[in-house]
Amino acid sequence: MTGELRLMAMDEDDLAVLSAHTQDAVLHVGDMLYQPKERRFILALHRFDWVRAEAHLRVQAGLHFEHVRKAALHGFCQDRPEDILNLLSIAFVPGDAPSGEIILTFSGGCAVKLDVECIEARLADLGPRWPCKHAPEHERRAP
């Protein structure tokens, strides 16, 4: 695969880069998994390729967070695994350094909050790109 994305986040700045590359990714609720024994939270998602935005492409990607002590869901239920979520952003709220919360914000007021010992995340493209009809659009706010 050409242009395969592989990123690692170890601090807030790195996490902002991951957030930019996963903005408007879509996934099923059932494509998220918390592994408490491994202290890992995993998502399989279809991210929009913002680097080639004019081509309107999506790609399957894997995203995982390490050192997760707890995961909390807000605004959706795991008992509806086929429901679709649209990822808007990933942010870090510091606690007692280096711990804090990683918050994955989805459209419709949904969120996942991960209580982490520190920031460690990885994003990797897992397959070929495919065309989608439209690029994601966002409301433009007046200055």
Condensed to tens digits (0 to 9), the pLDDT of residues 64-107 reads: 999 999 999 999 999 999 999 999 999 999 999 999 999 999 99
- Residue 78 resides in a domain: yes
- Exposure string over 40-54, b if 16+ CB within 10 A, otherwise e: bbebbbbbbbeeeee
- Residue 137 resides in a domain: no
Q: How far apart are CA 54 and CA 134, in angstroms?
A: 9
What's the Cα-to-Cα distance from 73 to each of 37, 85, 132, rounded to whole Å? Answer: 18, 12, 29
* Number of folded domains that form the chain: 1
* pLDDT at residue 138 is higher than 80: no
Please report the pLDDT score of residue 1 as a whole number: 43
- Residue 72 resides in a domain: yes
Q: Which residues contact 102 (CB under 8 A, 6 or more apart)?
A: 15, 65, 90, 91, 92, 113, 114, 116, 119, 121
- Residue 140 resides in a domain: no
- Residue 110 resides in a domain: yes
- Residue 88 resides in a domain: yes
- Residue 141 resides in a domain: no
Map residue 41 onto helix, strand or coil: strand
Query: Which range, 89-93, 128-132, 136-140, is most confident?
Result: 89-93
C-alpha closest to that of 32 among 76, 67, 69, 2:
76
- Residue 85 resides in a domain: yes
Domain that holds residue 93: 6-129
Cβ–Cβ < 8 Å for 42, 28 = no
